[in-house]
């Protein structure tokens, strides 16, 4: 499982990617350009399933697409200075683990609430599947 994830824009990204990162992170264009030039994070996630997880998981899914497009990099570690880069496959595997945990939690909640009688009855709602296709 991941420690802190750091999202870093690549140095030579196009204007479309800049606007996408602005929309994703809420950072200003100036902040994104500064992060590009200095190879610094524009967004980070220290803990999954906390605070704004509903928003965070959608940002992470779009970051996966941007990682594949070559417009950003993803690093993982306790501190950015020592963080290691993740390739698209490593990042996807971590996201898939989080999705699996999310489904297990939903199943457990459904059991506790009496919505289902056994784990076999649980059916995930595909409309809630935020995990991007490969």
Kindly indicate the confidence band of residue 1, based on its pLDDT and cuts at 50, 70 and 90.
low
Per residue in 87-120, pLDDT tens? 999 999 999 999 999 999 999 999 999 999 999 9
Per residue in 16-69, pLDDT tens? 889 989 998 899 999 999 999 999 999 999 989 888 888 999 999 999 999 999
Q: State the DSSP code for 117.
A: S
CA distances from 26 to 15, 30, 43 (A): 16, 12, 9
Residues 6+ apart with CB under 8 A from 25: 7, 32, 42, 43, 59
What is the C-alpha to C-alpha distance for residues 34 and 37, in angstroms, rounded to an integer? 5
Q: Where are the domains of the chain?
A: 4-128
Q: Is the pLDDT confidence value at 79 over 90? A: yes
């Amino acid at each position: 499982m991941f420690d802190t994830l750091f999202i870093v824009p690549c140095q030579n990204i196009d204007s479309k990617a800049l606007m996408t990162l602005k929309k994703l992170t809420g950072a200003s264009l100036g902040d994104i350009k500064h992060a590009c030039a200095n190879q610094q994070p524009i967004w980070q996630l220290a803990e999954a399933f906390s605070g704004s997880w509903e928003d965070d998981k959608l940002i992470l899914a779009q970051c996966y697409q941007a990682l594949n497009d070559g417009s950003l990099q993803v690093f993982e570690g306790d501190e950015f200075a020592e963080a290691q880069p993740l390739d698209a496959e490593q990042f996807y595997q971590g996201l898939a683990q989080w999705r699996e945990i999310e489904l297990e939690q939903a199943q457990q909640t459904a059991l506790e609430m009496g919505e289902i009688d056994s784990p076999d009855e649980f059916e995930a709602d595909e409309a809630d599947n935020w995990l991007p296709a490969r």
